Amino acid sequence: MALTPEQRAEIAAQRNIPQQTSRPTVAAMEALLFEPIDVLDHGFIRVVDYMGNDGAIVQAARVSYGTGTRRVSEDAGLIRYLMRHRHSSPFEMCEIKFHIKLPLFVARQWIRHRMANVNEYSARYSVLDKEFYLPDLSQIATQSATNNQGRGEVINPVQAQEVLEIFRRDATKCYQDYEELLSPEQGSVARELARINLTLNMYTQWYWKIDLHNFMHFLALRADPHAQYEIRVYAEKMIEILKAWVPHTAAAFEEYRLGAYNFSAGMLKVLRRLLEGEAVTQENSSLTKREWNEMMAVLGRSSS
């Protein structure tokens, strides 16, 4: 990640503005406010604002006149209850705003999360920086044989280096052409047109604001092993931010979402039969082979 000295000075100046407020704040969030957290080779996440804390969830759930909080254990218990029963509206009372720098192909997945507010850097207005994502050699892998949307075996380092050089060569060439098109010698082509040949690994930036309920929905989908590595690493860093911001909520989220699995009605029947010691197989259950395999994997049992 390459922040200019001017950008660093702006962040430092913003961090030094003393604030006085009666609103609830979170010491751990104040400590990380505005600071960029590196992700991938040039990307970052910065928290630029947040509203609410664990107490705000409890306060809304109790529709309280004061803070609404009682003993820590009672508040944590209430948050766990709300999470367990998907009583989600109290979580919508908290909001967080990020400044994120991310490759275009990651942004394309990210933007599908519609319950957020976004304002993106305009490449019609400004010239894009010469920064493109190049995967680490350890991330260059073959097409997965089992998951049509995923990666399989890591390619050997010699071949991976060649792949990397192709990524680098193409991105560099396209960026050179972009610069040429923008130059007066090439007629100063409009920025909105000059950009159309750029590669998907170019970085973009946006401000992204979301409420806590939808933020956790985003994290559950994008921190999941099924999500592409390049978006997953952002989600994983954001889970650390979640823990700093709303620790009781983050613990309940890990318990009832991240570490949990939804059993279908058919799966529950299988589970009950297994608990009764019955010899259940995929064939004598109502589950498809895929459902069976998923269930056995979750239970840590062999599929056969």
Which residues are known to be catalytic? 222
Q: How far apart are CA 67 and CA 65, in angstroms?
A: 7
Judged by CB under 6 A, how many residues of this single chain contact ligand FAD? 9
For ligand FAD, the closer CB: 227 or 267: 227
Near ligand FAD by CB under 6 A: residue from 112, 166, 187, 279:
112
List helix spans (H) across 227-264. Answer: 229-245, 247-253
- Interatomic CA distance for residues 170 and 175, integer angstroms: 8
Segment near ligand FAD (CB under 6 A), from 67-75, 112-120, 152-160, 241-249? 112-120
Under the binding rule (CB under 6 A), the answer on residue 221 touching ligand FAD is yes
d(CA 95, CA 242): 11
Using CA atoms, how far apart are residues 16 and 145, in angstroms rounded to an integer?
52
Please say which residue, 18 or 259, places its beta carbon nearer to ligand FAD.
Answer: 259
Among 15, 84, 168, 226, binds ligand FAD (CB under 6 A): 226
Helix (H, G, I), strand (E, B) or coil at 180: helix
Answer yes or no whether residue 258 interacts with ligand FAD by CB under 6 A.
Answer: no
Question: Least CB distance from residue 271 to ligand FAD, whole Å?
Answer: 26
Phi, psi of 118 (to 5 degrees): -130, 140
Q: How far apart are CA 163 and CA 216, in angstroms?
A: 35
Q: Which is nearer to ligand FAD, 30 or 294 (CB)?
A: 294
Task: List the one residue from 57, 106, 181, 227 that touches ligand FAD (CB under 6 A).
Answer: 227
Residue 217 CB, nearest distance to ligand FAD (Å)? 6
SS3 211: strand
| DSSP letters spanning 102-157 | EEHHHHHHHTT--SEEEEE--TTTSPPPS-B----GGG-EEEPSS-TTSEEEEPPH
86 forms part of the interface with ligand FAD (CB under 6 A): no
Q: Interacting stretch for ligand FAD, rule CB under 6 A, among 54-62, 81-89, 108-116, 198-206?
A: 108-116
Among 115, 193, 200, 268, binds ligand FAD (CB under 6 A): 115
Cβ 226 to ligand FAD, closest distance in Å?
4
Angstrom CA distances, 8 to 1, 50, 113, 131, 132, stand at: 12, 21, 30, 18, 21
**Binding region for ligand FAD (CB under 6 A):** 112-115, 214, 217, 221, 226-227
